[in-house]
A and B are shown apart, each in its own frame.
Chain A
Amino acid sequence: MSSFNSGRIPFINYFSVQSVKFLRLPLGQSMLFLRMALLLRVLLTNKSRINKQPHPVTGIEWKTLMTTNTIRFLHNDQLVELNNLDPNLTILQYLREEQHATGTKEGCASGDCGACTVVLAEPDGDKLSYKSVNSCIGFVGSLHGKQLITVEHLKDGDKLHPVQQSLVDNHGSQCGFCTPGFVMSAFALHKHNDSPNRAEVVEALAGNLCRCTGYRSIIDAAMTPTKDTAKDAFVKNTKKTIKQLNQITEPANLNGNNHQFYAPTNIKDLAKHLVDNPKSTLLAGGTDLALGVTQNLSTIEQLVYLGNVVELNQIEQTNTHIKLGAAVTYSRFTNLLGEQYPDLAQMIERIGSTQIRNSGTLGGNIGNASPIGDMPPAMIALNATMTLRKGEKTREIAVEDYFKDYKVTDLEKSEFIQDISIPKAQDGQHFKVYKVSKRIDDDISAVLASILIEIDGKKVKSVSMAFGGMAAIPKRAKACEKALLGKPWTQTNVDKAKKALAKDFQPMSDVRASDAYRMKVAQNLLQKCFIELQNRTIETRVANYA
C-alpha cells in the first residue's frame, strides 16, 4: 500500500488494491472429472474461429493450426480458439480491440467502475452458473473453458432482454456509458434470482458506478421481476452450452510476444511446473495482479493460472476446521464462513464488489501480502494456518508467520499457498470484525480490526486481535492483547488496552486516512467491541441501516 511505501502513491501500490479477473471454478467436482475424460478426444475436432488480423500490439498473426498453444472458450454460442496471443491481453482489450465488439465499455481499466462488466458462465451440474466479472482486469487466458457473455448477446433478435427492457422502462440510463455494465450485473443477478429484493440488488450492483442517475431508477429496474420472461436464449441453449464447455478440459497454454500462460488442471502438474519454472507468476483471480499491467504498463512473462486446478478449488470441512483451497473465490466461501462468524461474512461482503468477489481468492488476498488486505487480519486473529507446497513437499505455517515485512513473505521460490485452514467457532468466543473506509461499499479499508475474545466470568480468558492498515504488514496487536489477557473485562482495562495499541502500531498518513485517525479509530473499535459485548441492545453499526 502506497502509504507504507513512500508517502506518494503510485497507482499500483495503492494496494494492490484493485483488480479483477474472472476466474471461477466452482463447478461441481464430478463435472470436472467428466470434462477431463472428454478432453483429448475433442481436442482436434473442434472448428476454430480464426481471426486473421494481426494483433495490434504484437503484430503476430493468429495461427490457423491448433497447437497446445491454445485457449478455448465460448464467446456467446461460438467456440473460439485463440493462440499466439500475448497473454497479458485483458478480456476487455480482446473484446474491443480484437473483436471490435465495443458494447463493453472501459471506464477505468482498474476494476473500480464496472463499465466493463461481462458475464462468465460455467457448468454447475446440469445448470450453468453465471458470474459477473470485470473484463478490464481479467486476462484472456482465464477464459479457457468458460462461456463469455457480453451485452451484445442479450437481445433476442430485435427484442431487448427483460433486464434491458426494465432499465428502459424505469429510465435507468442517462449518458448510457455505465449502462452495459449494469445490464450485465443485473443479468447475472437475475440468472440466479429472478425477483431480487433491494438489498440483493444493491449487493449485486455495488461494483457498478453511475455518475448520472443517482441509482434509484436502476435499483427499481433491477428489482423488477423477470420470472415469466426469463426464458431467454441462454436458458434454451443450456444443454448445448454445457456440453460444449464440458469438452474443454485440457490444460491450456497461450504463448505470444514471448510471454507465456499456462493453466494446469491438477496440483501435481502445477507444483512440477513451478519447480521447473521458478520465475513463474501465480495468477488466481488476477484482481490484484492485473493492475500492474493495466495501470503500470508492466508485463508478466510467465503466468500460471490457478483457476483450473481442481485441488485448489476445493472446500473441505471437518468438525473443527474449514479448509479452503487457495483459489476458492470469495463468492464461494462467504456464506460458509458466515455460518461460523457472522461479522466476517458482513465484512467480506464489503471486499471489493460482486465482480471482484466472483474472481478474487483468499490465496490471492494473502499471497499479495498487502498491508491493507482485509482477510489477513481476520485470519491472523482466528489463528488460521495454511499449507504451502513446493514440488512434492508441503509445510504448515500460521497465517501470521507468512508476513515478514512490507510485501515480503515467507514464501520460497516455486512454492505456493495450497490451502488455508480456519478454525470453526467455539462456544464462548466472540469474533468481531470491523472495516472502516471512506465509502461503505467497494473501498479499501483505512483500518480493519479483527478481535477474537473469550470472556470467562468477568475476565478475559483469551484474546487475539489483528489489524490491517496500521502497519507495513497485517499485524497482531500483542501489547494490546497483553493488556487484556487474564484481566477483568472493564472499561478501565479497556482504556489501558487502547493505550497499549499505540505501542503496537505507528500508522501512516495517506490518501485514505491520517495517522491520527487510524490510531483513534483502532482504539475506538476496541471500545466498540467492549460496548457490543457489554450491552447488546445498544446500536453500534451504521451499515445495518441499509
Chain B
Amino acid sequence: MRKLTDIQEQDLQTLGLGGVGKSKKHESADKHVSGEAIYIDDRPELRGQLHAAVGQSAYAHANIKNIDLTKVKKAKGVVAVITVADVPGHVDIGPVFPGDPVLAIDKVEYLGQPIFAVAATSYDLARRAVKLAKIEYEELEPVLCVKDALAKQNFVRPPFTMKRGDSDAAIEQAGNKLSGEMYIGGQEHFYLEGQVSTAEPTEDGGMVVFSSSQHPSEVQKLVAEVLAIPLNKVIVDTRRMGGGFGGKETQAAPWACIAALLARVSKKPVKFKLSRVDDMVMTGKRHPFYNTYEVGFNNKGMIKGINITVNGDCGYSPDLSDAIVDRAMFHSDNAYYLDNATVTGNRCKTNTVSHTAFRGFGGPQGMMTIERVMDDIARHLGKDPLQVRKVNLYGQDKRNETHYHQTVEHNNLDKLVTTLADTSDYKTRRKAVADFNAQSPILKKGLALTPLKFGISFTVQHLNQAGALVHIYTDGTISLNHGGTEMGQGLFTKVAQIVAEEFKVDVDTVGVSATRTDKVPNTSPTAASSGTDLNGKAAQNAAKTIKQRLIKFAIEHFSVNKEAVKFANSQVTVGEQTFAFGEFVQLAYMNRVSLSSTGYYKTPKIHFDRATAKGRPFFYFANGAAVSEVIIDTLTGEYKLLRTDILQDVGTSLNPAIDIGQLEGGFIQGVGWLTTEELMWNDKGRLLSNNPATYKIPAISDAPPEFRVDLMPDDPNREHTVYNSKAVGEPPLMLAISVWSALRDAVSSLSGYKLSPTLDTPATPEKVLWAVEEMNAIQRLKE
C-alpha cells in the first residue's frame, strides 16, 4: 500500500522542471570525455612539492631485527626518510579496531607491508630510493591459508552465530540431506585511478589533504591523530575518485597519513601516488571465503533446516572484517526462507594484506553458499534449479522472517523472478539449451536464473547519518555540498537532481562541489549503497529549510496565504505575480532572508542486538534477478557469456540512466569476480597476480553480446526514502552469481543434469575444465 506522503512526493515530479526521475547525464560527463576532469594526480604541482614512496616488507611474517637506511638517505633526490619512530601521534590507524600500524612496528605481518617512507624530489627518485634499504628480519612461520587459520583458531575478531529454530533436528528430519564446502576467491578492486593523496602543511601547523577517498572524515581524523593535532587543523578535500568500489573506504587513509607525516618533517607539500603494482600489493581486497553447509530439504526441494559456516580470510588485521563477515552471515539466505537455520561466521587471521570493503561487503560471499545449495538440491532431486529457487523464495505473510529475525517486507521477489523468467523466455531457452547440448559434443551451453535480496543500511548503526550544506546565491544559482563522495556512481548528479526538484529549477542551476571536511563535518563513508539515501535526504532537508524560509518570506512580503506560493519551471509564483527564480531570490536577499542552510538525516527504524543476534539491521531490501546463458568448451574450459537479462527493483528511479549504468557495471564487475579475476599468492605469501597482466578484470569482449537490463516499473519503495527510490550501488554485483550457476549448469549437462560439479570461484577456464573432468570421471566410473 502506498502511503499518502509517497503519493504527494510522486506527484511533485510531474510539476514543472526539477530533475528527479530523468536520465540526466553525469555532472562531469563533458569533462570526462575531454580530459578536463581533474583527479588528484592531475592537480598542478605545488612549489617544492615532493613525492613519497614506502619500503616494503620482504616477508609475510617476521620480526624486524635491524633497519639500515643509510643508503636511502643518501640517494639522489631524497629529502626526508621516516620510520614509525618519527610519528608524533598515534601509530595505529586501524579504522574500527586497532591492528594497522601506519608503518611497521618491530614486526611485519604481510609481504609488502610498509616499513619506512621517503619523500624525494620526483616520483621516480622516491621509488628508486626505497629499494636501497637494508633490512634484517627474523622469519616467523606465516599462516597463509584460511583453513590453517581456522584450525589454529587464529581470528582477528571473535566468532558470531545467528540462529532461528533448531537446525540440527530439522536437517535430521527433513528426508533429504546434503553437505558441501566451497572456496570463494577474493577480488582486487582495480579502480582505474590508483590510491593517491597530497598533503600540504598550513601556516598553523595543520594540513590540507587532497585524497582519493570514500571517507574524507576518517582520513581527517587519522591524519590529525598521527600528527597529534586537533581535527580542526586538518581539511580533507575529495572532488572525485577514478573509481572506489569500497577500495577507498579505509584503504585511502594510510597513504594520506604517510604523505602528511612526510610533509610535516620536510615542511613541503608531499604527493603519494601508488604505482599499480604497489597498489595491488599493499591494499586490501575483497575477502576470500571458505564456506561449509549442511542442509535438509523435502522432496519439493524446500529447505527445512540448514547449518552454514562462513569463514572470511581477513588478512592480518581486523580493518572492517567484523562487519563484513556479519554481512556475509546476514546474506547467507539471499532471497530464500531458511526454516531453522544456524549461521556462524569466523574471522580468520592470515599473513596477507588486510582484506577490506568491496561492493557487497561480504554479502556476495555469503550468498554464494545458498545459491550453490539451490543448484545442488535441484540436481539431487532432478529438478530445474529455477523450480527449487522459487519454492524457497521468501513468502508474503508466512515464511517471511530472516535468520536474524527481521521480517521481509515489500517482498516482490516472486514477481521479479516470474516476470524475468517470462521476459527472458527462460522456459523456451531451457529447452533450446538442452537441444543444443544434445547435438554438440564439445561445446555445451548453460542457463541459470538467480534472484537477489540485498539489505540496505550500514549494519553499524551510527554510520546511518548524513549532513549537507546548500547555499543559494543572489543570481539564483545554487551551491550544493554534502558528505557523500563521487566515485563515478553518479551521486553528485542524483543529489543535484533532488535539490533542483525541491526548487523546481533546472539541474544545471545546481553547482556541485568537492566533498570537504570543513564544509560538512563528521560524515560517514560513501559506502553500503547508502550514498543517495543518506546524502540525498540531508540535501533535501537543507533545501526544504531554505524553501520554507522563502515561502514564509513570500507570505509576509506579499500578504498571501501559503497556497498562493508556487515553485515551478525555474520560477516562483506568488498570487498573480511570477518571478524568475533568481529574481525572487534577489528579492528575498534584499529583505534579509538567510539563503543558506545545513541539512541532516538519520535512517529511522533500524536496530540490531548482537547479544541476541536479533533485530532489524536493514531499513529495506533491494531486490532483483538475473538470467545468464553461457557456452563452455569441454576441451579447454574456456567459456563465453552469451546473454544476460536483468530485472532490478530500484524503487522509483531518481535517474534511470545512472541506475542502469550501476546495474551493468556492477554485474560485469561481479562476473569478473566469479570468472577470470584470480588472486594468487605463493607459498611465501607473495602476491603473484600483482598487475593487470596477470590479474584479468573483464575486458569489453566479456560483456555479453545480448545485455538487457530493466528497472522494475511502478514499484516505489514502501519506506520513506528520498522520492521512494532504492539503493543500487552494490546489489547488481551479486546478480553475476547467475553466470557462475550457468557455468555449473553447462558442466552438469555432461551428467545429464544428475550431478552438481565442484566449481570454486573464480571459475577460470582451468577450474571449468577440472569440473568437466570431474563429471567425465564419474561417468566413466559408472560405465
Contacts and interface: CB of A to CB of B under 8 A. Distances in A.
B is bound to A: yes
Interface of A: 7-9, 11, 14-15, 17-18, 56-57, 96, 100, 102-110, 112-113, 115, 150-152, 154-155, 160, 164-165, 167-169, 171, 173-180, 183, 198, 201-202, 205-206, 208-219, 295, 297, 434, 436-444, 446, 510-514, 517, 520-521, 524-525, 527-528, 531, 538-543, 545-546
18 contacts: A11-B277, A57-B125, A115-B192, A171-B25, A174-B490, A175-B242, A179-B33, A209-B192, A211-B191, A213-B665, A214-B663, A215-B702, A295-B691, A297-B131, A521-B637, A528-B442, A531-B441, A538-B440
Q: Enumerate the 8 nearest inter-chain pairs by beta-carbon distance, A residue then B residue, closest first.
A: A103-B35, A175-B488, A177-B242, A176-B32, A214-B664, A174-B488, A214-B668, A112-B692
A103 B36 contact: yes
A176 B707 contact: no
B306 interface: no
B765 interface: yes
A342 B559 CA distance: 83
A510 B667 CA distance: 29
A545 B631 contact: yes
Interface string B667-701: 11100000010101010101011111110111111
Main secondary structure of the interface of B (DSSP, over half): loop
A439 B34 contact: no
Contact of B442 (A151, A539, A546): A539
Main secondary structure of the interface of A (DSSP, over half): loop
B10 interface: no
Contacts of B190: 209, 211
Interface in B1-42: 23, 25-26, 28-39, 41-42
A522 to B, nearest CB: 10
Given A15-B693, A171-B26, A528-B635, A517 B766 contact: yes
B245 interface: yes
A440 B31 contact: no
Given A108-B692, A209-B692, A164 B34 contact: yes
A171 B698 CA distance: 19
Nearest to A55: B122
Interface stretch (B219-227, B534-542, B638-646): B638-646
A165 B25 CA distance: 11
Q: How large is the interface on B (under 10, 10 to 19, 20 to 34, 35 or more residues)?
A: 35 or more
Given A211-B669, A521-B637, 20 more contacts: A7-B682, A11-B277, A15-B693, A107-B194, A109-B275, A110-B691, A151-B34, A167-B29, A167-B33, A168-B25, A168-B33, A171-B657, A175-B243, A175-B244, A205-B700, A214-B669, A439-B698, A512-B694, A514-B766, A520-B773
Given A171-B26, A171-B657, A441 B243 contact: no
A166 to B, nearest CB: 9
Contact of A215 (B639, B642, B668): B668
B32 A440 contact: no
Nearest to B770: A517
B121 interface: yes
B574 to A, nearest CB: 37
Given A113-B692, A171-B25, A212-B488, A202 B701 contact: yes
A531 B769 CA distance: 18
Contacts of B667: 214
Contacts of A295: 277, 691
A103 B34 contact: yes
B156 interface: no
B128 interface: yes
A108 B276 contact: yes
Interface in B445-480: none
A151 B33 CA distance: 8
A525 B635 contact: yes
Contact of A107 (B121, B276, B680, B699): B276
A527 B276 CA distance: 40
B193 A175 contact: yes
Contacts of A102: 35, 38, 41-42
B527 to A, nearest CB: 15
B180 interface: no
A540 B633 contact: yes
B703 interface: yes
A538 B444 CA distance: 12
B166 interface: no
Nearest to B51: A56
A452 to B, nearest CB: 20
B701 A206 contact: yes
Contacts of A17: 693
A152 B642 CA distance: 37
Contacts of A7: 682
B240 interface: yes
B122 A173 contact: no
A78 B635 CA distance: 54
A534 to B, nearest CB: 11
A442 B34 contact: no
A179 B25 CA distance: 15
B276 A56 contact: no
A273 to B, nearest CB: 28
B550 interface: no
A180 B705 CA distance: 24
Interface in B116-171: 121-122, 124-125, 127-128, 131
B251 to A, nearest CB: 15
A94 to B, nearest CB: 13
B127 A160 contact: no
Nearest to B189: A211
Contacts of B702: 215, 439-441
A436 B769 CA distance: 12
B48 interface: no
B408 to A, nearest CB: 29
Contacts of A511: 678, 680, 688-689, 694
Contacts of A113: 192, 692
B664 A217 contact: yes
B34 A160 contact: yes
Contact of A217 (B242, B661, B691): B661
B440 A539 contact: yes
